[in-house]
Amino acid sequence: MRKLLSLTFVVALIALVITLETRRQEAQKQLEQLTIRLEQLQGNSSQNREAAKNIIQRVQKHMTISTEVEPTVATIVNVEELRKKNPFYNKAENGDHLVVTTDRAILYDPDKDVILDVVPVQLQPAAPAAQPAPAQQ
Protein backbone atom coordinates (compact mmCIF):
# COMPACT_ATOMS: atom_id res chain seq x y z
CA MET A 1 0.00 0.00 0.00
CA ARG A 2 2.82 2.35 0.91
CA LYS A 3 4.64 1.60 -2.37
CA LEU A 4 1.49 2.34 -4.35
CA LEU A 5 1.00 5.63 -2.51
CA SER A 6 4.66 6.56 -3.07
CA LEU A 7 4.42 5.64 -6.74
CA THR A 8 1.26 7.73 -7.14
CA PHE A 9 2.97 10.66 -5.43
CA VAL A 10 6.02 10.41 -7.73
CA VAL A 11 3.84 10.18 -10.87
CA ALA A 12 1.76 13.18 -9.72
CA LEU A 13 4.96 15.13 -9.00
CA ILE A 14 6.36 14.34 -12.46
CA ALA A 15 3.06 15.37 -14.09
CA LEU A 16 3.12 18.64 -12.13
CA VAL A 17 6.71 19.36 -13.21
CA ILE A 18 5.85 18.64 -16.87
CA THR A 19 2.77 20.88 -16.71
CA LEU A 20 4.69 23.74 -15.10
CA GLU A 21 7.53 23.45 -17.63
CA THR A 22 5.05 23.51 -20.54
CA ARG A 23 3.40 26.65 -19.15
CA ARG A 24 6.80 28.27 -18.62
CA GLN A 25 7.76 27.58 -22.23
CA GLU A 26 4.47 29.02 -23.49
CA ALA A 27 4.97 32.14 -21.38
CA GLN A 28 8.53 32.45 -22.72
CA LYS A 29 7.26 32.26 -26.33
CA GLN A 30 4.62 34.91 -25.63
CA LEU A 31 7.23 37.17 -24.06
CA GLU A 32 9.49 36.77 -27.09
CA GLN A 33 6.61 37.57 -29.46
CA LEU A 34 5.63 40.65 -27.46
CA THR A 35 9.25 41.81 -27.41
CA ILE A 36 9.46 41.47 -31.19
CA ARG A 37 6.19 43.39 -31.64
CA LEU A 38 7.38 46.15 -29.32
CA GLU A 39 10.64 46.47 -31.25
CA GLN A 40 8.69 46.64 -34.51
CA LEU A 41 6.39 49.33 -33.16
CA GLN A 42 9.28 51.39 -31.86
CA GLY A 43 11.08 51.01 -35.16
CA ASN A 44 7.95 51.90 -37.10
CA SER A 45 7.57 55.08 -35.08
CA SER A 46 10.84 56.49 -36.42
CA GLN A 47 10.02 55.13 -39.89
CA ASN A 48 6.61 56.83 -39.74
CA ARG A 49 8.20 60.16 -38.79
CA GLU A 50 10.63 59.86 -41.71
CA ALA A 51 7.81 58.96 -44.10
CA ALA A 52 5.78 61.97 -42.87
CA LYS A 53 8.76 64.30 -43.39
CA ASN A 54 9.18 62.90 -46.89
CA ILE A 55 5.51 63.53 -47.72
CA ILE A 56 5.71 67.08 -46.34
CA GLN A 57 8.80 67.79 -48.46
CA ARG A 58 7.03 66.48 -51.57
CA VAL A 59 3.95 68.62 -50.88
CA GLN A 60 6.19 71.66 -50.29
CA LYS A 61 7.36 71.37 -53.90
CA HIS A 62 3.81 72.29 -54.93
CA MET A 63 2.85 74.82 -52.27
CA THR A 64 4.20 76.64 -49.23
CA ILE A 65 3.52 74.95 -45.93
CA SER A 66 4.28 76.60 -42.63
CA THR A 67 6.40 74.28 -40.51
CA GLU A 68 6.31 76.36 -37.32
CA VAL A 69 4.09 73.59 -36.01
CA GLU A 70 4.90 70.21 -37.54
CA PRO A 71 2.06 69.21 -39.87
CA THR A 72 0.20 65.98 -39.20
CA VAL A 73 0.34 63.37 -41.96
CA ALA A 74 -2.12 60.50 -42.26
CA THR A 75 -2.43 57.79 -44.90
CA ILE A 76 -5.94 57.15 -46.14
CA VAL A 77 -6.81 53.48 -45.68
CA ASN A 78 -10.64 53.46 -45.88
CA VAL A 79 -11.65 56.17 -48.32
CA GLU A 80 -15.24 54.92 -48.66
CA GLU A 81 -15.92 55.51 -44.98
CA LEU A 82 -14.35 58.98 -45.17
CA ARG A 83 -16.43 59.88 -48.25
CA LYS A 84 -19.61 59.08 -46.33
CA LYS A 85 -18.64 61.64 -43.70
CA ASN A 86 -17.12 64.41 -45.81
CA PRO A 87 -17.19 65.21 -49.57
CA PHE A 88 -13.63 66.57 -49.26
CA TYR A 89 -12.45 62.97 -49.73
CA ASN A 90 -14.32 62.40 -53.03
CA LYS A 91 -11.10 62.89 -55.06
CA ALA A 92 -9.01 60.70 -52.73
CA GLU A 93 -8.09 57.04 -53.03
CA ASN A 94 -6.68 54.60 -50.51
CA GLY A 95 -2.96 55.24 -50.17
CA ASP A 96 -3.26 59.01 -50.62
CA HIS A 97 -2.17 61.27 -47.77
CA LEU A 98 -3.90 63.92 -45.71
CA VAL A 99 -1.56 66.66 -44.50
CA VAL A 100 -3.07 68.89 -41.82
CA THR A 101 -1.38 72.17 -40.94
CA THR A 102 -2.55 74.85 -38.55
CA ASP A 103 -4.61 76.53 -41.27
CA ARG A 104 -5.46 73.95 -43.96
CA ALA A 105 -5.97 70.32 -44.88
CA ILE A 106 -4.24 69.06 -48.00
CA LEU A 107 -5.06 65.88 -49.93
CA TYR A 108 -1.96 64.58 -51.69
CA ASP A 109 -1.59 61.72 -54.18
CA PRO A 110 1.99 60.41 -53.87
CA ASP A 111 1.74 58.18 -56.96
CA LYS A 112 0.86 61.04 -59.29
CA ASP A 113 2.74 63.61 -57.15
CA VAL A 114 -0.22 66.00 -57.22
CA ILE A 115 -2.27 67.89 -54.70
CA LEU A 116 -5.86 66.74 -55.05
CA ASP A 117 -7.60 69.32 -52.87
CA VAL A 118 -6.98 71.94 -50.19
CA VAL A 119 -9.48 73.26 -47.66
CA PRO A 120 -9.07 75.76 -44.85
CA VAL A 121 -9.29 74.47 -41.31
CA GLN A 122 -9.68 76.24 -38.03
CA LEU A 123 -8.11 74.49 -35.13
CA GLN A 124 -10.03 75.49 -32.07
CA PRO A 125 -8.03 75.90 -28.86
CA ALA A 126 -9.27 73.80 -25.99
CA ALA A 127 -12.08 75.52 -24.13
CA PRO A 128 -10.91 76.85 -20.76
CA ALA A 129 -12.26 75.05 -17.74
CA ALA A 130 -15.31 76.70 -16.23
CA GLN A 131 -14.29 79.05 -13.44
CA PRO A 132 -16.34 78.75 -10.24
CA ALA A 133 -18.32 81.84 -9.33
CA PRO A 134 -16.71 83.98 -6.62
CA ALA A 135 -18.05 83.30 -3.15
CA GLN A 136 -20.68 85.73 -1.88
CA GLN A 137 -20.03 87.29 1.47
The model scores a pTM over 0.85? no
Main-chain dihedrals φ then ψ at residue 136, nearest 5 degrees = -85, 140
Domain boundaries defined on the chain: 2-120
Number of neighbours of residue 102 by Cβ within 10 angstroms: 13
Distance between CA atoms of residues 50 and 45, nearest Å: 9
pLDDT digits (tens, 9 = 90+) for 14-67: 999 999 999 999 998 888 888 777 766 555 666 778 888 999 999 999 999 877
